[in-house]
Amino acid sequence: MNKKDIRKGIIPYVVLIVIMLAVIYFFNVLNVKVNELTYDKFVASLNNNEVKEITIVPSIDEGIYDISGQLKDYSEKESFHVQVPLSEEVMKYIATANEKYDFEINTKGDPNGSMWIVVILNFLPLIIIGVLMFFIVSKQVGGNNKSFDFGKSRAKLDDSQKKVTFNEVAGLKEEKEELKELIDFLKNPKKFQKLGARIPKGVLLVGPPGTGKTLLARAVAGEANVPFYYISGSDFVELFVGVGASRVRDMFRQAKHNAPCLIFIDEIDAVGRQRGTGLGGGHDEREQTLNQLLTEMDGFGANEGIIIIAATNRADVLDPALLRPGRFDRQVTVNLPDVKAREEILEVHARNKILDKNVTLSNLAKRTPGFSGADLENLLNEAALLAVRRNKDAITMSEVDEATDRVLMGPAKKSKKYTDEEKRMEKRLVSYHEAGHVVLGLKLNSANIVQKVTIIPRSYAGGYAMMVPKEEKYTQTKRELLEQITGLLGGRVSEELNFGEITTGAHNDFEKATKIARAMVTEYGMSDLGPVQLEHQSEGVFLGRDYNKSRNFSDIVAHEIDEEIRKIVGECYQKATEILKANADLVKLIANALLERETLTKEQIEYLVEHKELPEDTTFEDMTLDELKDLAKDKNIKGYSKLSKDELIRLLEANDIEPTDATDLKDEEKEEK
């Protein structure tokens, strides 16, 4: 903690102490009772021995003494005050009474000095408090504090030295082509104005989270080399009604001074939701902010040279007035990347990482369908962290596989080891469950193939099979959907056939299968109910997901829908049963392999199906000393040449190097020869 922070922490306590002292002082002053006595009453008190003490002070007025003190019957906070003539007779009279009754006498000279003491004692605390309050208020108003700048725009100007360009944006070829027109307009607006063309005032980027909408907006600003303001939709809305509208006006005022420029509003659904909807009615602050934004974008005033780019993953909740031509004229959908786009994204994120020569990004892209750009970046980052944790010099496929599993299902629960008793029960059951998925993936042409299967617990699952489609397509046939459902039911069918018992392990499989079957009946028209759409998303966007589906059918049709769903799932279950009964030996073979290895890859499964056994594992003990040294040399391990065989084995195991790497090394030597 620096000195500045320490001072900031002490100041509030100092102010509190001063205020408490001032309150105590004024409390004591207010509680003191002063009685004004006449000269005759004062003399009578002297004669009757009623005076306890007196203080004599020359008054500012000439010829008068100010005498104050206490009488014997006064309380502690009670005193008297009297003015007497300035004469020797009076002083002699007081001295005579003092000799007779022996009370205390105090004298003070310099009445002007007394006056200054009174002024200081009475007004100094007020002055100190005033100075402190002025200091605190000035610090709040000035500096970096924004407590009084309610109506100022929260939009920040991107002044970073490193500009993002389209080279850093991978996998969005069509989206970049759409936005290049904006860049041309910002660089050369006269070319468009010459033919009377009007560039879109707003571009809305719509897509799932993590697909690169914000990165795309930054790249547009970097390519155009114009001022780039960025703000979040939630920065407009405040507690006080009207503040958001004021911030919108101030944001456009700043943008006009720097036109041509770009304004990027992230998560615009926070301020651009439909007006007057929801169970609780409208929201005055948000609606006023939205009204001001609509006016600024396309109202009576003209905002030439200002282009707004907004991003959201909930375009269905936006107000229709915001999406009309003249405001957000153009919508650019940023979808999840396909296999080619995923490979390009991986190449961008792998630029600053050291990958082993066995890591092929094209194969990794094929194994990650449904991953967004953010997911792929996270995957490579997790792989790098694992490589550092294992003290490796490069990221190998072992780290990539583990990172993929961590992103999908979370870290492996290695502490949840199976005992010998559990191996005969739970582990065996999980193995047969996953083997059912594998066999159906192999035997059905359109079912999802199993890329990897494991019985190591992760998250809430005792094991899982990574199932990916054989090829990515925009449309699917009825047969493909039915075979996907059949593949999902393979785990439960395998449990029932081999153990005569069922478990809760298939609940996620049933969830996915039922969702596909319901969509076939109510949305795709792939049932005996005919080619009709019975359910669709309604416009009540604030009623919640469960209330959001419009049911334009009777209770009789609802019963028929349920019957059709049960019929589809039942037929697929029966088909899965027939296939697994016919391939019982293959199920048993794969289940036993899982019990032995715990994890099988697609290549190992294919080898097992062809040769009816797994390839033999190479161990370090089977290798010669020269082979161990060659392997250590290939893996860039220092100090290997003078080590014994046992020392080399311990070193290779500490670096998490697999003995199978030596086989790859021999194959490379053969190719070189």
Q: Nearest-CA neighbor of 200 among 185, 215, 220, 219?
A: 185
Query: Which tokens in the block code for residue 206?
Result: 């719509």
Spatial distance between the Cα atoms of 429 and 421, rounded to a whole number of angstroms: 12
CA angle 601, 604, 608 (to 5 degrees): 140
| Cα diameter, the chain | 136
Question: For tokens 């290997």, what's the residue?
Answer: 640
Question: For tokens 């101030």, what's the residue?
Answer: 250
CA angle 181, 184, 189 (to 5 degrees): 115
**Helix, strand, coil percentages in the chain from 3-state DSSP, rounded to 5:** 55, 15, 35
Q: Find all residues with CB under 8 Å of 282, minimum gap 6, and list them.
A: 275, 276
What DSSP character marks residue 617? P
Which of 223, 285, 434, 483 is labelled catalytic? 434
Contact 207, 313 (CB under 8 A): yes
Q: Find all residues with CB under 8 Å of 279, minimum gap 6, and list them.
A: 542, 543
Instruction: Return the SS3 of 254.
Output: helix
**Taking the C-alpha atoms of 438, 439, 444 and 448 in order, what is their torsion angle to the nearest 10 degrees?**
0
Q: Nearest-CA neighbor of 448 among 464, 478, 474, 471?
A: 471
Instruction: Return the SS3 of 302.
Output: coil
Question: Is residue 68 classed exposed, middle or buried when 0-12, 13-18 and 19+ CB atoms within 10 A define those classes?
Answer: middle
The 8 Å CB, 24+ separation contacts for 640-648 are 648/620
Q: Find all residues with CB under 8 Å of 540, minimum gap 6, and list them.
A: 277, 547, 548
596 is catalytic: no
Q: Nearest-CA neighbor of 591 among 423, 475, 446, 477?
A: 423
Distances in Å between the Cα of 366 and the Cα atoms of 341, 410, 471, 542, 589 are 11, 21, 9, 38, 27
Give me the helix-helix angle, 478-488 and 555-582, nearest 10°.
70
Side-chain-facing half-sphere of 213: CA atoms under 13 Å: 26
> Which residues are known catalytic residues?
434
